[in-house]
Structure 1
Amino acid sequence: MFKIVKKWREQGTIERARGTGLENKKTTNNEDATLIQHLRAHPFTTATAAAQITNFPASRRTAQRRIRQISDFRCRVAAIKPFLTQQNKENRMGYAMQYLIFDQNFWENVIFTDEKVFQSSRNGKIRDFVLDSMKHILNKTIAVVDFPLMCGPGLVVGVPDCVGELMVD
């Protein structure tokens, strides 16, 4: 209150100066909604990529700010995988032994990889936009199971029909 009275005495006005946060927005509500709709459809897209795809007219920082302001989305980094204990290894070996009886049709839908760390995104860690109240989006989750191969430990990755939606350029 003191600052308002002081401004009135010194300048004869209580109007805000230009650049103090009340000027017009750089984007329209429609452009903001388009950005949010794109993130709902493609949660593994970065804010920068979503802004480019939707022709968002403002900067990357403004796109990130709009996502936080007008939606319940928050950008999260995937959790870091914990080290395996001996009990984990034994449980996984038992699980893998159950799959020895499956036929060729089953194995045609499985991708084998080793436990080498690789990047599936050239932007570093995989980030996704999720609702603030949710830890993950169930229909976008791919099941991953450790599997002992003849040449060492590996992974069995289930490939759902929506795997094409998960790939981000």
Structure 2
Amino acid sequence: MIAAGTSDEARSEVESLTIMPRGDRSETSASVRGQMVGMKNAGCSTAEVAANFGVHPNTVLKWVRRAREDEDLQSRERSGRPRCTNIEDDERMHQAILNEPLRAGGAAAVKRELMLGCSNETVRRRLRERGIFHRQPARKPFLTPEHKARRVRFAETYVDVPQTYWDLCIFSDEKTFSSDADGMVKLWRPTLTR
């Protein structure tokens, strides 16, 4: 509800703002902050403004107070641990993975090879920021009707070949037998790629 005595111009401006539900916890943009301050200055209650933008009433009060104090609606610098890698390190990690996606050893191998002074988890986090994940490779596709037709053609072609011909052939079903030293193969891949 808009307060009584609000000018028609301010009323129409407030009514033109659409309700913007915010289910996520992302930061409000400077333009949204300005709209909240504008609605409050136009006579809307704090609860109305908060409901309109899907934020807590304290958020509205914070931006109104900040607008009055220093007229700056930009985010202030936050405290927290600084990043232990720089842009060049992040790019080197990215290029190393693009050049060798089947690299054994995962994040530890990347860290060791590039001599990075960060944890293995930081390497994984930096690559995830760029959309690259360490995953098990895609499995081989099942036989298609075309594959099956080719196998039948092969059998029909060689059905009358003498036994001496087949004595010189070795067939394999492509099964890999490995020792315990060989683990599961993983590779680095961007999302939605095989």
TM-score with structure 2 setting the length: 0.41
Structure number with greater Rg is: 2
Query: How does the TM-score come out when normalised to structure 1?
Result: 0.46
Which protein is richer in strand relative to its size? 1
